[in-house]
Chain A
Amino acid sequence: DAGVIQSPRHEVTEMGQEVTLRCKPISGHNSLFWYRQTMMRGLELLIYFNNNVPIDDSGMPEDRFSAKMPNASFSTLKIQPSEPRDSAVYFCASTGGLAGAFGEQFFGPGTRLTVL
């Protein structure tokens, strides 16, 4: 089975540009999470979707960040405008069924974002 798919794997952009990160969860999973990983702050949960509906976005840093899940197989995280402090690795994770009931999450390979 395919795991969580993220694209692009690497993104280099200039300050002020719009960045869009993409995620395809595991088929059949109904929960999707976006995380950010930095050396200083470790892993931070940004937003959580259940059945395509945003449930908790309290971790989204500021209005420059937005996330959507238009259907069960696709989600985006957008940063506009991007700033150098947004440089990080962004992970998408999904879960569902019995695994989800116990809190287990399945992570994608991540997108390494560098904002110059």
Chain B
Amino acid sequence: GNSVTQMEGPVTLSEEAFLTINCTYTATGYPSLFWYVQYPGEGLQLLLKATKADDKGSNKGFEATYRKETTSFHLEKGSVQVSDSAVYFCALAFMNTGFQKLVFGTGTRLLVSP
């Protein structure tokens, strides 16, 4: 089946630390991969995406590379800020009954302290 596994949180970092949130997937075919971010009290916002192997998605200093050989899409940022505190969801899209269905990981909460 199609599924996403991401690391348990919370991840607690100091400002300017390096961030990695691991995400691995199981899928048939070649899914698109996404990272969504959810700030407190808000909906999910697309952070970045990659639609084929070796693509690198990037936005707001965050990056993730679609690695087909390791079925991974790890999220990284070189220097986190307090404002990055949020819940991050890894997701994949696959075709199901004629439409693209999103499957989400369980989310990883990031807490950044000053």
> Which positions in A face B, CB cutoff 8 Å?
4, 31, 42-43, 45, 48, 50, 55-56, 91, 93, 95, 100-110
Contacts and interface: CB of A to CB of B under 8 A. Distances in A.
A103 B32 contact: yes
Q: Is the interface of A mostly helix, strand, loop or mixed?
A: strand
B46 interface: yes
B99 A102 contact: no
Interface in B51-97: 51, 89, 92-94, 96-97
A31 B99 contact: yes
A104 B101 contact: no
Contacts of B107: 42
A103 B93 contact: yes
Contacts of B31: 103
B43 A109 contact: yes
Contacts of B14: none
Given A102-B49, A103-B32, A107-B45, A56 B100 contact: no
B43 A108 contact: yes
